[in-house]
Chains A and B, each alone.
Chain A
């Protein structure tokens, strides 16, 4: 596809479970970003990848959150021991490189019961 693809679009799980959210960026985009958007708020930065490496993970809220991008394309955001406060829309964006416009996916709506 032409745009950033995120799966699943919706995820409902119980408190304490482990979840994985997937992001498939636009082909050729070396930079990949994860954001989290709570209801009524703007997106908040979580982590930024340049290629395979996490260039900036300062936005991850705690050590339950982890993200990987092993081959420099698809990225997975992993959340361990989920809490109700983790409920939000998780957005992925990609760009050609640092400083280039970011293109956003439709997000994964995560609900922790």
Chain B
């Protein structure tokens, strides 16, 4: 069964602190995505990770991919309130489903002053 698991599901942080969100997936994948979703809004693409060891950074967010461990991480550095949102990882499996994404349940991040 194709599974994508994120943890933690809820994360309350203080501004200025660092933290990491983890995304594990169950089988070989071609690519992994990180999305951000604000309440009542759609999904905003943050990162696409294509290969083992890939690392991408944008502002206070950095994503990495270890395909051997089937693990991706989203690291938050010196959190600010504007980062409060729900973060999803999604994995593309091309076995038979031709590219639809399998999403984790999301990590709801709340950054408090």
Contact = CB atoms under 8 A, between A and B. Distances in A.
Counting chain B CB atoms within 10 Å of each CB, the highest count among A33, A43, A91, A107 belongs to: A43
B100 A50 contact: no
Interface stretch (A70-78, A80-88, A97-105): A97-105
Interface residues of A, number: 26
A55 interface: yes
Interface stretch (B12-20, B54-62, B71-79, B103-111): B103-111
A83 B20 CA distance: 39
Contacts of B92: 99
A56 B43 contact: no
A62 to B, nearest CB: 18
B42 A105 contact: yes
Interface string B70-113: 00000000000000000010101010111111111110000000
Interface residues of B, number: 25
A91 B90 CA distance: 15
B41 interface: yes
Interface of B: 4, 30-31, 33, 35, 41-43, 45, 48, 88, 90, 92, 94, 96-106
Given A43-B103, A44-B103, 19 more contacts: A33-B100, A33-B101, A40-B105, A41-B105, A42-B106, A45-B100, A56-B100, A58-B97, A91-B42, A99-B30, A99-B92, A99-B99, A101-B48, A102-B33, A102-B101, A103-B45, A104-B42, A104-B43, A105-B42
